[in-house]
């Protein structure tokens, strides 16, 4: 276990591989752990860092609640501690929101952003997640349902360490936002990836949020049709290859594509 002290709080992280730095930020359900297959796949070319945000995994909880700006500052401070000046960010759900906000607030620190299952506004968040109050245990089962929750041992393993207020506070904050406004301000390449059967986050095509998509050359939306809320696990090979493609694009997102021969994960 690796950890650093940031603002008098312990922040847990794990790192793997050698090469260019890459930051992975988890979402509302789980912790750093479900990034392990991605970290392992990229370890030949990248030094991957996956941290637990405050209130998740083995990082400390925060008294007084949780804000998105605190999480953006946390990622910036974490990069400082690791000696990373600038890096690509890969964020899932809450982590994707944090990555996009960081690209707006601290653009000099961000090379690229892959946002996975990111709600562009409050209407994109399903009722089970939007109505979560922060009280009680077994967050994963309460939000996803028992059957789907059991299919993600990587997530289940640490989901119950989560401070429910970290979920509730940040979900409420995102529900008041319109991230399309942030996208209009971002100049680095942005790839938004969605699962075609995500029960928690609706992809933009279903909400009519495509106006900016054809106007901005630095933004691309791709749907992995067979995936649900965790594309990095549901469609592991496709996701990892797509991420490699994105990191190699040099800004030309038109070349990105998902090939049929990239086989789906077998459970």
The string of DSSP letters for 249-266 reads STT-GGG----TTSPPPP
**For the chain, what percent of residues have pLDDT higher than 70?**
91
CB atoms under 10 Å from CB of 147, counted, come to: 8
Q: End-to-end CA distance of the chain, in Å?
A: 28
**Res 10 pLDDT > 60:** yes
pLDDT, tens digit (0-9, with 9 covering 90-100), for 83-115: 999 999 999 999 999 999 999 999 999 999 999
Question: Distance between CA 25 and CA 29 in Å, rounded?
Answer: 12
Which residue, among 76, 143, 138, 67, has the nearest Cα to 104 in the 3D structure? 76
CATH superfamily of 2-255: Alpha/Beta hydrolase fold, catalytic domain (3.40.50.1820)
Domain ranges of the chain: 2-255
At 193, phi and psi to the nearest 5? -115, 135
At 57, phi and psi to the nearest 5? 55, -130
Which residue, among 27, 45, 39, 16, has the nearest Cα to 193 in the 3D structure? 27
Q: Which residues contact 238 (CB under 8 A, 6 or more apart)?
A: 224, 227, 231, 258, 262, 263, 264
- pLDDT at residue number 100: 98
The residue-averaged pLDDT of 195-219 equals: 72
**Res 214 pLDDT > 50:** no
Q: Report pTM.
A: 0.93
The residue-averaged pLDDT of 132-155 equals: 86
Alpha helices in the chain (DSSP H): 36-42, 68-82, 94-105, 127-130, 139-144, 146-150, 153-159, 164-175, 179-185, 231-234, 236-247
Q: What angle do CA 217, 223, 229 make, to 5 degrees?
A: 125
CA distances from 61 to 140, 165, 215 (A): 18, 10, 41
**Res 263 pLDDT > 50:** no
Mean pLDDT, all residues of the chain: 90
Tokens describing residue 205:
């095509």
- pLDDT at residue number 133: 83
**For the chain, what percent of residues have pLDDT higher than 90?**
76
Question: What letter does residue 121 receive in the DSSP assignment?
Answer: B
């Amino acid at each position: 276990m690796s950890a650093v002290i940031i603002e008098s709080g312990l922040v847990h992280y794990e790192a793997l591989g050698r090469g260019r730095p890459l930051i992975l930020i988890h979402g509302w359900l789980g912790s750093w752990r479900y990034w392990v297959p991605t970290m392992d796949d990229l370890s030949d070319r990248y030094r991957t860092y996956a941290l637990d945000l405050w209130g998740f995994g083995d990082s400390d909880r925060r008294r007084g609640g949780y804000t998105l700006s605190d999480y953006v500052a946390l990622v910036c401070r974490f990069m400082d501690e690791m000696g990373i000046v600038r890096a690509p960010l890969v964020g899932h759900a809450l982590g994707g929101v944090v990555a996009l906000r960081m690209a707006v607030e601290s653009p000099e620190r961000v090379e690229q952003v892959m946002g996975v299952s990111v709600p562009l506004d409050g209407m994109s968040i399903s009722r089970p997640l939007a109505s979560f109050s922060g009280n009680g245990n077994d967050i994963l089962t309460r939000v996803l349902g028992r059957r789907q929750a059991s299919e993600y041992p990587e997530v289940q393993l640490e989901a119950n360490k989560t401070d429910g207020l970290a979920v509730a506070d940040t979900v409420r904050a995102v529900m008041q936002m319109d991230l399309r406004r942030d996208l209009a301000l971002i100049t680095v390449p942005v790839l938004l990836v969605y699962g075609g059967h995500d029960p928690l986050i609706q992809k933009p095509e279903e909400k009519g949020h495509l106006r900016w998509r054809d106007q901005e050359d630095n933004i691309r939306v791709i749907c992995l049709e067979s995936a649900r809320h965790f594309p990095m696990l549901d469609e592991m090979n496709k996701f990892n290859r797509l991420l490699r493609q994105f990191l190699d694009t040099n800004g030309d997102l038109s070349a990105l594509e998902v090939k049929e021969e990239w086989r789906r994960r077998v459970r």
